[in-house]
């Protein structure tokens, strides 16, 4: 039987095994509108039961030998690799990914599991000095139950990058995938860890509506919430978590800048800009949403980028060899087109694209843009590249920083000049001579300002900080003497 055989998961959700439920939701292919199956939806009551069971199972899981927890993560990585083709097919059909993006996402999932397999045996604290005649230690302990709320765009990776380290460090997890990608972002993860030998009750996958999202935040057993998604929703989760005295790790939106310095290779810069803006139809928090080009290169760069955009085919990635697949749903498609239309009405010029094609949107370049236009100010989450010019490094730094977000910046050209610019900008990530989209399992990932609460993903230091609590422990050779 295939890993994702629908007989296992259809009309069910995963909570201490596959459970029947009272409601279901169709799995829809965004490129065609075809029904691919149906997933079971959890309720707030299901979340309450799952949280109680997770708290019970977590104690035994945390007490499991580190080598055994590491072995589960390694087996999960091997299973992702063994079933890559099957998982990629779901990412293509359910999430609208082109094949190359789906393959890249699965490779990152494999790397995430292997990287996290080292966490159980990673140093878990430090020895402290003390004024007393005792040993003083600070050790890291599992947080307990962790809720993970994941988005639709990279549904597998953006759920797994919290699920895997949380499990590796001895926590139990409640995962709420986006209902639009509940198979590739939920069922896949449940089946992988089920086959990898994760004990029952440690992982629960709970697709559902906003009431389920609220329940996984508010469940008393949950101590940490890891959310990836839009800034407005992240603000609401952060506010609620604060009132409940829970930690919330928030990876939110971005309106990322690509700066093309004087003297840069225009052809290579345009290639980088096209990749940054059009990968996965621009539906990535790290997407290049703003192109700042030195005035000496502005016309040539805009022309080269428009030529790149015009050559990129749009269509159904499951049936055609295309560069851009569908936008996730009609509402988002119309939002993208609305931002372009409003910007053109404000004076921008469409140098390429600007059209809806079926369920997709043509790769678009906007010239004649000013910094007050919607295409420049807003996170578009679509394949749109607004371009403006700058004259000095000081002006470039001011324009980059004049944004509510601070996730990723790419700088193309002379390295020394790029380093000087990098020191002046506010961003969680800076890539010199690369575009803005980049992720590796061992690298810290996170943004500043409205892009989130900093790097709480990637690498041992960030993961240990995110999914454990610090406990102070002292040890004396004998009972201390006290004055009372």
The fold for domain 6-252+452-473 equals Aldehyde Dehydrogenase; Chain A, domain 1 (3.40.605)
The fold for domain 256-432 equals Aldehyde Dehydrogenase; Chain A, domain 2 (3.40.309)
| 480/38 Cα distance (integer angstroms) | 64
| Share of the chain residues as helix, strand and coil, in percent rounded to the nearest 5 | 40, 25, 35
| 6/146 Cα distance (integer angstroms) | 27
pLDDT of the residue at 101:
97
- Can 285 be counted among the known catalytic residues? yes
Other Cβ atoms within 10 Å of 228 Cβ, number:
25
For residue 107 the two structure tokens come to: 């490779």
| 458/69 Cα distance (integer angstroms) | 19
For residue 202 the two structure tokens come to: 């440690």
198-203 mean pLDDT: 98
- pLDDT tens for residues 61-82? 999 999 999 999 999 999 999 9
CB 435 within 8 A of CB 284: no
323-340 mean pLDDT: 98
180-207 mean pLDDT: 98
Cα radius of gyration (the chain): 24
| DSSP designation for 424 | T
List the catalytic residue out of 29, 88, 115, 251: 251
338-353 in b/e form (b: 16+ CB < 10 A) is: ebbbebbeeebebbbb
pLDDT of the residue at 110:
98
pLDDT of the residue at 455:
83
269-293 mean pLDDT: 98
Q: At what angle do helices 393-401 and 415-422 cross, to 10 degrees?
A: 40
| 161/154 Cα distance (integer angstroms) | 11
For residue 299 the two structure tokens come to: 């016309």
Other Cβ atoms within 10 Å of 404 Cβ, number:
14
User: What confidence category does residue 456 fall into, taking pLDDT thresholds of 50, 70 and 90?
Assistant: confident
- pLDDT tens for residues 223-234? 999 999 999 999
422-443 mean pLDDT: 96
Phi, psi of 320 (to 5 degrees): -135, 155
447-474 mean pLDDT: 94
List the catalytic residue out of 21, 113, 285, 403: 285
pTM of the model: 0.96
- Distance (Å) of CA 36 to CA 182, 402, 404: 12, 43, 38
What is the share, in percent, of the chain residues with pLDDT greater than 90? 98
| 424/474 Cα distance (integer angstroms) | 44
User: What confidence category does residue 83 fall into, taking pLDDT thresholds of 50, 70 and 90?
Assistant: very high
| Residue linked to tokens 């979340």 | 47
- Distance (Å) of CA 155 to CA 108, 151, 256, 327: 12, 6, 21, 14
CB 280 within 8 A of CB 101: yes
Q: Is the dihedral of CA 384, 389, 392, 398 positive or negative?
A: negative
> Can you list the positions of beta strands (E) in 129-209?
135-142, 145-149, 172-176, 203-205
The ranges assigned to domains in the chain are 6-252+452-473, 256-432
Nearest to 113 by CA among 143, 80, 138, 64: 80
What value does the mean pLDDT of the chain take? Answer: 97
CB 287 within 8 A of CB 430: no
| 7/17 Cα distance (integer angstroms) | 14
Q: Is the pLDDT of residue 1 over 80?
A: no
Q: Three-class SS of residue 421?
A: helix
- Can 251 be counted among the known catalytic residues? yes
Q: Is the pLDDT of residue 130 over 70?
A: yes
**Residue 408 CA, distance from chain mean position:** 13
Q: Is the pLDDT of residue 50 over 80?
A: yes
253-282 mean pLDDT: 98
Q: At what angle do helices 66-82 and 188-196 cross, to 10 degrees?
A: 130
Q: What residues have CB less than 8 Å from 76, skipping those under 6 apart?
A: 113, 164, 192, 193, 196, 198
Q: Three-class SS of residue 68?
A: helix
- pLDDT tens for residues 158-172? 999 999 999 999 999
């Amino acid at each position: 039987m295939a890993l994702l055989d629908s007989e296992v998961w259809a009309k069910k959700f995963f909570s201490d095994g596959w459970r029947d439920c009272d409601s279901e939701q169709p799995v829809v292919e965004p490129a065609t509108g075809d029904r691919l199956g149906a997933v079971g939806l959890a309720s707030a009551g299901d979340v309450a039961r799952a949280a109680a069971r997770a708290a019970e199972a977590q104690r035994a899981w945390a007490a499991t030998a580190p080598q055994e927890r590491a072995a589960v993560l390694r087996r999960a990585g091997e299973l992702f690799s063994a079933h890559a083709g099957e998982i990629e097919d779901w990412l293509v059909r359910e999430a609208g990914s082109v094949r190359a993006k789906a393959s890249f996402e699965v490779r990152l999932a494999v790397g995430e599991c292997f990287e996290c397999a080292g966490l159980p045996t990673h140093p878990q604290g430090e020895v402290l000095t003390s004024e007393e005649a005792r040993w003083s230690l600070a050790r890291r302990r599992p947080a307990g139950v962790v809720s993970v709320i994941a988005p639709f765009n990279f549904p597998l990776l953006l759920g797994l990058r919290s699920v895997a380290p949380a499990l590796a460090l001895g926590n139990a997890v409640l995962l709420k995938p986006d209902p639009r990608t509940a198979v590739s972002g939920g069922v896949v993860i449940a089946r992988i860890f089920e086959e990898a030998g994760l004990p029952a009750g440690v992982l629960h996958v709970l697709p559902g509506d906003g009431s389920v999202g609220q329940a996984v935040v508010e469940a008393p057993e949950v101590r940490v919430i890891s959310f990836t998604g839009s800034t407005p929703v992240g603000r609401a989760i952060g506010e609620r978590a604060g009132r409940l005295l829970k930690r919330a790790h928030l990876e939110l939106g971005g309106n990322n800048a690509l700066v093309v310095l004087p003297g840069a290779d225009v052809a290579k810069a345009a290639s980088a800009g096209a990749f940054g803006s059009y990968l996965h139809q621009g539906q990535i928090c790290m997407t290049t949403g703003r192109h700042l080009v030195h005035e000496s290169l502005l016309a040539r760069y805009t022309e080269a980028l428009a030529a790149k955009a015009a050559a990129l085919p749009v269509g159904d990635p499951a049936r055609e060899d295309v560069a851009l697949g569908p936008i996730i749903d009609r509402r988002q498609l119309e939002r993208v087109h609305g931002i372009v239309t409003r910007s053109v009405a404000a004076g921008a010029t469409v140098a390429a694209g600007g059209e809806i094609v079926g369920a997709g949107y043509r790769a678009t370049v906007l010239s004649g843009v000013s910094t007050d236009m919607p295409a420049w100010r807003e996170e578009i989450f679509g394949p749109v590249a607004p371009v403006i010019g700058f004259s000095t490094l000081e002006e470039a730094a001011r324009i980059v920083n004049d944004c509510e977000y601070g996730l990723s910046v790419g700088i193309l050209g002379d390295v020394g000049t790029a380093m000087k610019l990098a020191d002046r900008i506010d961003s969680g990530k800076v890539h010199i001579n690369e575009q803005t989209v980049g992720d590796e399992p061992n690298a810290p990932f996170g943004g500043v300002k409205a892009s989130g609460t900093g790097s709480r993903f990637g690498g041992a230091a960030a993961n240990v900080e995110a999914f454990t609590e610090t406990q102070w422990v002292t040890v004396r050779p004998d009972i201390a003497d006290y004055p009372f």
